[in-house]
Amino acid sequence: RDACAEPHQLSKGETIHTLKTESETLKAKLEEERAKLHDVELHQVAEKIEALGQFVMKTRRTLKGHGNKVLCMDWCRDKRRIVSSSQDGKVIVWDAYTTNKEHAVTMPCTWVMACAYAPSGCAVACGGLDNKCSVYPLSLDKNENLAAKKKSVAMHTNYLSSCSFTNSDMQILTSSGDGTCALWDVESGQLLQSFHGHSADVLSLNLAPSETGNTFVSGGCDKKANVWDMRSGQNVQSFETHESDINCVKYYPSGDAFATGSDDATCRLYDLRADREVAIYSKESIIFGASSVDFSLSGRLLFAGYNDYTINVWDVLKGTRVAILFGHENRVSTVRVSPDGTAFCSGSWDSTLRIWA
Amino acid sequence: MVSKMSSKMVGSNNLANARRMVQQLRVEASIERIKVSKASADLMRYCGENAKYDPLLMGIPASENPFKDKKPCTIL
């Protein structure tokens, strides 16, 4: 049957009822197929490897300068610069080694929920309640007004929740409260592909590591994590085991799995080739939502920031918590490991960013 | 605090939506899957192979980590 056929025409014998029945049958078949391959749990297979020792991670730098909640941050590929964005509309570029501010831009909107560094290190992208994603080339001239060179790239019909450059400065992927993700050409602002399938706000997206091809994962308020083919726009896999909004999605470094952080107070690991959830990172004592997650370089550690102001560090394979980090004085909104894995940065509603190592 | 402004897709055409769902489920049902035991082994192998290159996992000395402060120098 052709899904693009005139919607008001019925194929022979086809009714809403038959389609719904077929839906139910397919869903049951999916579950059955997945269950057949569920021969063991990841943490059971991981019993044979050594437990991790004690971790000592401390705040090594505190970046102060935002006047309000930090909502997002991203590392530059040079492993030392960071861009961060906040509720009061400010976007700041920092040198994380020295804590110096190198650039600052004031956006015309508040709640700048998304920011990203361009691969070249020569530009940053950001957006939020303005429903757009804009690119600012970074000038070497400190006196130059960055806002003058601003380029509007993406236009959504609701807030911008996340943005990411692809492998070059030329394309940006966005996710939005309007329920869609989209791929844009930076130079022309043209929409190259849109991704429909979520039934509520999309809160986060992450591109697969470049070796694994052209896919990305998104997560949202419909409790689903969807994997997409960037060229065709097709939703190729979908996972729905969380009990509340998915705030963050992040690929495992090999590209074979991804982790999520959710308002249901758990983080989970989904394996793409097994096509199922393979681990849950949770404790009875953790009752606040996880806002942001990221892996260490080898994928063995998962850093997760929570709404209870803490960062929990999980052993990805064994499923146990190996450290809990205190320091922020309000919700942790964003957590990202540096490109060379030597440190990770956290941003918080307490208006600071911290570098941990 | 910003509320997550939900934008439920207006179900203007239930038949088209039902067709889309069936089509989507067919795509998802048709993919090839592997056993969790194999997937787990592969995840573990990746961790094992890359552990030594993972500074946060192994811990690296202050002299090699730009964020860890080195001991202060004494000017003689």
pLDDT tens per residue, range A208-241: 997 767 999 999 999 999 999 999 999 999 999 9
pLDDT value for B12: 44
* Residues A338, A334: Cα–Cα separation, whole Å: 13
- Contact A40/B50, CB-based, under 8 Å? no
Domains located in chain B, CATH noted: 12-64 (4.10.260.10)
8 A C-beta contact, residue A227 and residue A237: yes
Regions of chain B with pLDDT less than 70: 1-12, 70-76
Task: Specify the 3-state DSSP secondary structure of B62.
Answer: helix
pLDDT value for A1: 40
What would you measure as the largest C-alpha separation in chain A, in angstroms?
70
Q: Which residue, A74, A73, A67, is CA-closest to A90?
A: A67
Predicted complex ipTM: 0.91
For B23, the closest of A3, A301, A337 (CB atoms) is A3
Counting Cβ atoms within 10 Å, is residue A328 exposed (0-12), middle (13-18) or buried (19+)? buried
pLDDT at A301 over 80: yes
Q: Smallest CA–CA separation between A114 and chain B, in Å?
A: 14
Mean pLDDT calculated for residue range A22-36: 92
CATH code for the structural domain at A64-356: 2.130.10.10
For B7, the closest of A158, A275, A340 (CB atoms) is A158
8 A C-beta contact, residue A249 and residue A218: yes
Task: Specify the 3-state DSSP secondary structure of A17.
Answer: helix
Mean pLDDT calculated for residue range A330-345: 97
- Contact B39/A273, CB-based, under 8 Å? yes
* Residues A193, B36: Cα–Cα separation, whole Å: 33
pLDDT tens per residue, range A159-210: 999 999 998 999 999 999 999 999 999 999 999 999 999 999 999 999 999 7
pLDDT value for B2: 43
Torsion of CA B16, B18, B21, B25, to 10 degrees: -130
pLDDT tens per residue, range A84-94: 999 999 999 99
Rg (chain B; Cα; Å): 26
For A344, the closest of B13, B47, B56 (CB atoms) is B56
pLDDT value for B5: 43
User: Which has the minimum average pLDDT: A14-18, A67-71, A177-181, A268-272?
Assistant: A14-18
> Mean pLDDT score of chain A, rounded to an integer?
94
Best of A33, A297, A330 to mutate (most B CBs within 10 Å, chain B): A297
User: Which has the minimum average pLDDT: A110-114, A324-328, B4-8, B41-45?
Assistant: B4-8
pLDDT value for A9: 55
**Among residues of chain A, what percentage have pLDDT more than 70?**
96
